[in-house]
Amino acid sequence: MIAAPKSGRSSRFRRLLHYLRPHQTKIWAGVVALLVVNLLGTYLPLLIGTAIDELQAQFQFQRVVFYALLLIGLASLMWLIRMASRLWIFGAGRLVEFDLKQRIFEHLLRLEPSYFAENTAGDLINRATSDVDNIRRLVGFALLSAVNTLFAYGFTLPMMLAIHPGLSLGAIAVYPAVLFIVQTFSDRLRSEQLEVQQSLSDLSDLIQEDMSGIALIKIYGQEANEQRQFDRLNAELLANNLVLAKTRNILFPLLGGMVSFSLLILLWFGSRMIADNTIQVGDFVALLLYIERLIFPTALLGFTITTYQRGEVSIDRVEAILSVEPRIKDAPDALSLPQVKGHLRFQEFSYTYPNRRTPVLDRLTFEVQPGEMVAIVGPIGCGKSTLASALPRLLDIAPNQIFLDGIDITRLRLADLRGAIAYVPQESFLFSTTIKNNIRYGEPEASELKVIAAASQAQIHHEILNFPKQYETLVGERGITLSGGQRQRTALARALLVNAPILVLDDALASVDNQTASQILRALHDRRQTVLFISHQLAAAATCDRILVMDRGRIVQQGTHSELVAVSGLYQSLWEQYQVEATLQSEGG
Ligand SMILES: Nc1ncnc2c1ncn2[C@@H]1O[C@H](COP(=O)(O)OP(=O)(O)OP(=O)(O)O)[C@@H](O)[C@H]1O
């Protein structure tokens, strides 16, 4: 789970201002509109009071029409200005939502793969959508409502006090109690809201994982088990929602009831005062209208506060993503590397995963010449993939251990380093687009000819021609419409198209038959790239210029195939084992 940054109310408020700054013109326009509406709203009861007193003293039809038209005119104007204030402030909320989504996505793209291994996709998606939505409501509804309440009280109260201090104070006597109750409930509401958001993330995670692993669920017949897990998480979400609803259901009617109580007080004492002639009917009506003006904002205070708190929780949850500094980034004085020859040197290179105690790679030292094709072989889990992902700095490695053309790769600009390396990982990931776009992913403007050349070298061109729409065939999410071998060769074509000086293949031909794999390697020989070919396919590895043999994080042997098979050691036993397996496979097949 993503840890929330430690934050207090003031720092959340500062972040909020930061979100609002680019849209301050809209916000200010909205605030001014609310100011005007409230000024007019404060004037209306006064006007009605005056009209009543005047017409009571001397009834004139013309004056009635005059007052009626004036009131209709003012009310329409208020309606128009109120609409404008909503458009401006809610519009700013939508813009803040847009900005945040952009920032989150941009930020996630800057983070290293290990971040996504530690944090689940469901949770991240939930934060980028539902939490951002909560912040939008904070900026829109909560801000509008808070400013409106402030103006309503700020203008209405002095007017009420001017009309009749005693009666006004009596009518609003319950309001401090309202504020006290709101404050008392606010912490509870916030923590309950957090629980709801977290349960929602857990549920999204499960749905996301189950949809990705649907085949596995079916093969192992685990539908019922997954259903049970879903039921449990859904029940948790329901329980948390009910707890929150209960708190709200106690709070909001309580607030509404207390506010209506103030009207009762006013009617009770006011009617006696009219009878005693201590207050004029016009003033009394104005007071009633003023109190009415306060009812709506005060009753909404509960919603406003919940929306604000929900937004506060979401600010923390979104900031928890935005505050993560990428561990792998350009040094301030990062170097450019315009021309890459492709010379690699690993110098006592060690690597320990952050969650492990012992190093996975232990003082590896070797060199690869430009244009050389080097195979890296070794038992399962000896560290080959770790080595491959260290080179383009997908792992956070220490300086002065890996050198490209003599320069420490941690000093190079990441874009230059990664631009020099075409890397095909073990799992070939394809995007949900056409096969052509998948192949030219690294160079979206690449010509059709270039795409075909890369596909031909990856030995997939002829198969693509047999697809329903050839290169325009859509590949489903993660390429489910293609076989494992076709996916791997498409991923290889993507790496070949960018024509980087260094090519790293991490078991990238595992699902391709030996003959095709050897053909591909032969084609690679002609490209004069530096190639690191990590593989369990020893027959294909044997065609490389040199073979490094790894065992438990170390290089234990190196040489050509014929040199290595001739001496007893790990390579010899791997080779013998490989041949037995190959014979069994061909007999079985
Ligand atoms: N993200 C990670 N966090 C912690 N340990 C990891 C991580 N990735 C790999 N390892 C561990 O590092 C060791 C080396 O893994 P690696 O994938 O580099 O081996 P490999 O030689 O490529 O294996 P294979 O031949 O199966 O692909 C293994 O013990 C593995 O469990």
Residues paired with residue 416 on neighbouring β-strands, in sequence order: none
46: Cβ contacts below 8 Å, ≥ 6 apart? 159, 286
Question: In the β-sheet with 407-408, what is the strand arrangement from edge to edge?
Answer: 361-368, 344-351, 402-404, 407-408
Token digits for 402? Answer: 């890996």
Measured between alpha carbons, how far is 257 from 178 in angstroms, rounded to an integer?
10
Distance 565 CA to ligand 1 centre (A): 26
Q: What angle do CA 309, 312, 314 make, to 5 degrees?
A: 115
Q: What is the CATH number of domain 426-499?
A: 3.40.50.300
- Quick: pLDDT tens for 547-565: 999 999 999 999 999 999 8
Res. 190: pLDDT tops 80 = no
Res. 86: pLDDT tops 90 = yes
Mean of pLDDT values over 333-358: 90
Measured between alpha carbons, how far is 342 from 350 in angstroms, rounded to an integer?
21
Distance 406 CA to ligand 1 centre (A): 28
For ligand 1, say whether the CB of 384 is within 6 Å of any of its atoms: yes
pLDDT of residue 7: 60
SS3 state at 252: helix
Helix (H) or strand (E) holding 144: helix 143-163
Report the nearest-CA residue for atom 7 of ligand 1: 353
What ligand 1 atom has the least distance to the C-alpha of 383? 18
Of all residues in the chain, what percent carry a pLDDT higher than 90?
44
Distance 401 CA to ligand 1 centre (A): 20
For ligand 1, say whether the CB of 115 is within 6 Å of any of its atoms: no
pLDDT of residue 180: 81
Report the nearest-CA residue for atom 9 of ligand 1: 386
For ligand 1, say whether the CB of 113 is within 6 Å of any of its atoms: no
- Bigger pLDDT: 30 or 3? 30
Mean of pLDDT values over 204-224: 83
For ligand 1, say whether the CB of 383 is within 6 Å of any of its atoms: yes
- Picking from 188-202, 214-228, 462-476, 478-492, which range would have the lowest pLDDT averaged per residue? 478-492
Q: Tell me, which fold does domain 339-420+502-589 have in CATH?
A: Rossmann fold (3.40.50)
ipTM: 0.96
With bands split at pLDDT 50, 70 and 90, how would you rate the model's confidence at 477? low
Res. 6: pLDDT tops 60 = no
pLDDT of residue 109: 86
Distance 240 CA to ligand 1 centre (A): 39
Q: Domains of the chain: which residue ranges?
A: 11-322, 339-420+502-589, 426-499
What's the maximum distance between 2 C-alpha atoms anywhere in the chain?
123
For ligand 1, say whether the CB of 357 is within 6 Å of any of its atoms: no
Q: What angle do CA 197, 202, 206 make, to 5 degrees?
A: 145
Substitution site in 118, 349, 356, 360 for ligand 1 pocket (most atoms within 8 Å of beta carbon): 360
Nearest to 464 by CA among 484, 434, 440: 434
Q: Tell me the backbone φ, ψ of residue 548, rounded to 5 degrees.
A: -100, 130
Token digits for 298? Answer: 């005060």
With bands split at pLDDT 50, 70 and 90, how would you rate the model's confidence at 222? confident
Distance 554 CA to ligand 1 centre (A): 13
Measured between alpha carbons, how far is 66 from 58 in angstroms, rounded to an integer?
14
For ligand 1, say whether the CB of 354 is within 6 Å of any of its atoms: no
Tell me if domain 339-420+502-589 and domain 426-499 are identical in fold: yes
Report the nearest-CA residue for atom 26 of ligand 1: 380
Distance 114 CA to ligand 1 centre (A): 13
For ligand 1, say whether the CB of 507 is within 6 Å of any of its atoms: yes
Four-CA torsion 575, 579, 581, 586, nearest 10 degrees: 150
Distance 480 CA to ligand 1 centre (A): 25
Q: Tell me the backbone φ, ψ of residue 517, rounded to 5 degrees.
A: -60, -45
pLDDT of residue 1: 52
pLDDT of residue 2: 57
With bands split at pLDDT 50, 70 and 90, how would you rate the model's confidence at 56? confident
- Quick: pLDDT tens for 378-387: 999 999 999 9
Find the length of the chain.
Answer: 589
DSSP 338-377: SS----EEEEEEEE--TT-SS-SEEEEEEEE-TT-EEEEE
Tokens 């994982």 -> residue: 209
pLDDT of residue 95: 94
- Picking from 150-154, 233-237, 281-285, 344-348, which range would have the lowest pLDDT averaged per residue? 281-285
**Cβ atoms of residues 241 and 310 within 8 Å:** no
Tokens 């509406």 -> residue: 37
**CA atoms within 13 A of residue 253's CA, in its CB half-sphere:** 5
Report the nearest-CA residue for atom 5 of ligand 1: 353
- Quick: pLDDT tens for 118-137: 888 878 888 898 899 999 99
- Quick: pLDDT tens for 494-503: 999 998 899 9
Report the nearest-CA residue for atom 25 of ligand 1: 380
| Top-confidence range, 1-10, 399-408, 437-446 | 399-408
Chain mean pLDDT for the chain: 87
Res. 53: pLDDT tops 70 = yes
Substitution site in 116, 327, 385 for ligand 1 pocket (most atoms within 8 Å of beta carbon): 385
Q: Would you say domain 11-322 falls under CATH 1.20.1560.10?
A: yes
